[in-house]
Amino acid sequence: MNLQAKLWIDQYGMLPHPEGGYYVETLLAPDHIAIDQRPTRPLYSSILFLLSDSDVSHFHTLQSDEVWYYQNGDPLDIVVIDEDGLLEVIHLGPFRGQVMQALVRKGCVFGSLVPTQGVSLVGCMVSPGFLFEEFTLHTQTELILRYPEHQEWIEKLTKSDVEEEIEE
C-alpha cells in the first residue's frame, strides 16, 4: 500500500468501503427529512474517501445526489453512466482540464479510479443523507447486458462474476 495512503487511513481512522477504497464519515446533519416512501434520514452526510491506483471504486448507484470534492493527492476520474446510458468521465483534481467539485445525480451508475500512479483523497457529500440500504453495487454481467457499448469501462470498474462467486 502507498505510504501516503496508509498515513491518511491511520490519521483519519478510515475503514474499507464496500465499493473499494477507504472512508470515514465526517459530517452528519442534525436535521432529518422524509421523502416519499423512503426512510427518514439526515438532510446530508459527508465522508472523506481515499482511493489508490491499486484499487477502484466499483460501479454502484445511490438514490440521492452526491457531490465530490477534490481534497488532496492525485487526480481522480469519476466514470458516470446516466439514466439514458450516456457515459461521462469527470476529471476531479486541481489541474487544467480538471474540476475541483462534481455532481453525480441520483440514479446514475458510477465508479472511480486514480488514472495515474498514486493516491487521491476526496470528500463526498450526499443529500439527502446516505443510507447503505439505498446503495446498489452492480455486477459485471448486469451492466454489460444493460450497457454493452460501455463494456471496457464496466470490466475495469466491476468485479468479474468469478470474483463475486469466490467472495460469496
Burial of 82: CB neighbours in 10 Å, binned 0-12, 13-18, 19+:
middle
Whether pTM > 0.85 for this model: the answer is yes
User: Residue 160: what pLDDT?
Assistant: 79
Q: In the prediction, which pLDDT does 167 show?
A: 57
Average predicted confidence (pLDDT) for the chain: 94
The predicted pLDDT at position 166 comes to 42
* Mean pLDDT of each 10-residue bin along the chain, 168 residues long: 93 96 97 88 96 97 98 98 98 98 98 97 96 93 97 94 52
52-85 confidence digits (pLDDT tens):
999 999 999 999 999 999 999 999 999 999 999 9
CA distances from 160 to 37, 60, 144, 156 (A): 34, 14, 11, 9
Domains of the chain by residue range: 3-32+40-135
pLDDT value at residue 149: 98
The pLDDT value recorded for residue 36 is 83
* pLDDT reported for residue 162: 46
Q: List, as one string, the DSSP characters of 85-152.
A: S-EEEEEESSSTT-BSEEEE-TT-EEEEE-SSSSEEEEEEEEESPP-GGGEEEPPHHHHHHH-GGGHH
pLDDT at 21: 97
* Helices vs strands, H then E, count in the chain: 4, 13
CB atoms under 10 Å from CB of 58, counted, come to: 22
**What Rg do the C-alpha atoms of the chain give, in angstroms?**
16
114: exposed, middle or buried (Cβ count in 10 Å: 0-12, 13-18, 19+): buried
Is domain 3-32+40-135 classified as CATH 1.20.1240.10?
A: no
